Amino acid sequence: MNIIDIIEKKKRGNKLTKEEIDFFVQGYSRDTIPDYQISALLMAIWCKGLDREETTNLTLSMVKSGETVDLSQIDGIKVDKHSSGGVADTVSLPLVALVAANGVPVAKMSGRGLGHTGGTIDKLESIPGLKTEIPIEEFINIVKRVKGAIVAQSKNLVIADKKMYALRDVTATVDSVPLIASSIMSKKIAAGADAIVLDVKVGDGAFMKNLSDALTLAKTMVDIGSLAKRKTVAYITDMNEPLGDAIGNAIEVEEAIDVLKGKGGKRLVNVIKTLGGEMLTLGGKAKDTQQGQEMIERAIEDGTGLRKFREIIQAQGGNPHVTENFSLFPKAKFRIEVKAEESGYISHIETEEVGKLAAFLGAGRTKKGEKIDLSVGILFPKKVGDFVKKGDKIAEILSNDMGKGEEAKKRLLKLIELKENKVQPLPLIYYRVSEEGIKKFIE
């Protein structure tokens, strides 16, 4: 077999066999095929695409390129969750605790952020003492004991994806649905879950800007999961405005705790209930998603979700008292109020730019490995459809640099559009995608 022949075949739009895909994935992982040839192949894939079978074979070959996690020691159906990312997407922290509190084990491996804020792992590390770099055996033991854990992804997991993603980033081949889907699903499958719930964000603050592309990605990932014998369900949710009220790291953990205390914003809580209801159904604890959502609501109301979050924090070496004492979190030196300069209804928020503003303050990375400031960010509770009066406080900038904070304040006001007439709130959930089909609903 020859890599040049494989490039030529895909360049002409022909289907690659499982053996050909294995050849280039394993060859690249072992450094027997150079970057420049894989770059050419990635561009051919970007131009000509991969079909359902090719995409699944690529995913499974990437899984084989590194270690896999065996969760068979953990009783029950293990359910994982993945979000395609957005602004103020504080879902995973309360969700894992609420699902685990209802008896479904969640062994979640997450990444660090590259973009406007840190990833789930960065956020967790704002909890004093909490460890995210945990050996697999200890990770499994924690999940066996408390039903949930969130740790950093093993460096030896899906080696091919790490190498190929770095190459895609510098060869303009990131935005290919088969390559995005195989990257996400290879990590989820390698992490060992029996079932996977996907939150595919769509809109201004998401990677997928329109519903058609989001649906294509969701269907592709559900197909991969099905062919890989993992029950997989995807929801397409709105990211045309920040989902929660906090954009940062420590402040997002504080918001997650507020959710578990019954004080979360409606849109954030509704996404958590929707995904959690699905996870409990796939995990065999709820007869359907409606009952699953009711179980999530009860775990918030009776405090079992909050208690479970404390257990998870403690099991990972963190200080559980953060749930009652937010002063234990890293704090920014300056809090700068942002006040409305005119009255009106919020009609549009440039969500991606708001996220970039948080990164400007230091809450996110512009390159891999860059240190982020866990204490800074933006508190922005207003949503599309809200009425604001001139002089009302609409946001708060948290900064360790007064100059940057004042600059962020000026820039934020330009990212919010007001209208005189009443504006309807945005839809939240557009579709549920499963092996059985696509359900459309607007919530």
Distance CA 48, CA 60 (A): 20
Residue 224's pLDDT is 95
Contact between 58 and 182 under an 8 Å Cβ cutoff? The reply is yes
pLDDT at 368 over 70: no
Q: What is the mean pLDDT of residues 294-299?
A: 98
User: The dihedral of CA 182, 183, 185, 189: what is its sign?
Assistant: positive
Q: What is the mean pLDDT of residues 342-370?
A: 90
User: Which is catalytic among the residues 84, 183, 186, 375?
Assistant: 183
- Whether 116 sits among the annotated catalytic residues: the reply is no
pLDDT at 114 over 60: no
User: Which is catalytic among the residues 81, 116, 168, 231?
Assistant: 168
User: Which is catalytic among the residues 10, 78, 81, 82?
Assistant: 82
Query: For 32-60, what is each residue's pLDDT tens digit?
Result: 999 999 999 999 999 999 999 999 999 99
pLDDT at 443 over 80: no
Query: For 304-324, what is each residue's pLDDT tens digit?
Result: 999 999 999 999 999 999 999
Query: For 408-438, what is each residue's pLDDT tens digit?
Result: 999 999 999 999 999 999 999 999 999 999 9
- Whether 183 sits among the annotated catalytic residues: the reply is yes
Distance CA 349, CA 355 (A): 11
Query: For 75-108, what is each residue's pLDDT tens digit?
Result: 999 999 999 888 999 999 999 999 999 999 999 9
Residue 111's pLDDT is 79
Tell me the percentage of the chain whose pLDDT exceeds 70: 97
Distance CA 61, CA 431 (A): 30
Q: Give the Cβ contact number of residue 391 at 10 Å.
A: 11
Residue 425's pLDDT is 96
Q: What radius of gyration do the chain's Cα atoms show?
A: 22
Nearest to 39 by CA among 197, 198, 167, 210: 167
Q: What is the mean pLDDT of residues 151-168?
A: 89
Mean pLDDT, rounded, of the chain: 95
Nearest to 124 by CA among 136, 134, 132: 132
**What is the pLDDT confidence band of residue 387, given thresholds at 50, 70 and 90?**
very high
Residue 383's pLDDT is 97
User: Which is catalytic among the residues 123, 187, 267, 285?
Assistant: 187
Tell me the percentage of the chain whose pLDDT exceeds 90: 91
User: Which is catalytic among the residues 161, 194, 223, 258?
Assistant: 161
Domain parsing of the chain, residue ranges: 3-49, 79-325+431-440, 332-419
Tokens of 289: 């998603």
Taking the model in full, what pTM does it have?
Answer: 0.94
CATH 3.40.1030.10 is the classification of domain 79-325+431-440: yes
- Whether 82 sits among the annotated catalytic residues: the reply is yes
CATH architecture of the domain 332-419 equals Alpha-Beta Complex (3.90)
- b/e code 8-44 from CB counts within 10 Å (16+ = b): ebbeeeeebeeebbbbbbbbbbeeebebebbbbbbbb
Q: What is the mean pLDDT of residues 128-141?
A: 96
**What is the pLDDT confidence band of residue 174, given thresholds at 50, 70 and 90?**
confident
Class of domain 3-49: mainly alpha
Would you say the CATH fold of 79-325+431-440 matches that of 3-49?
Answer: no
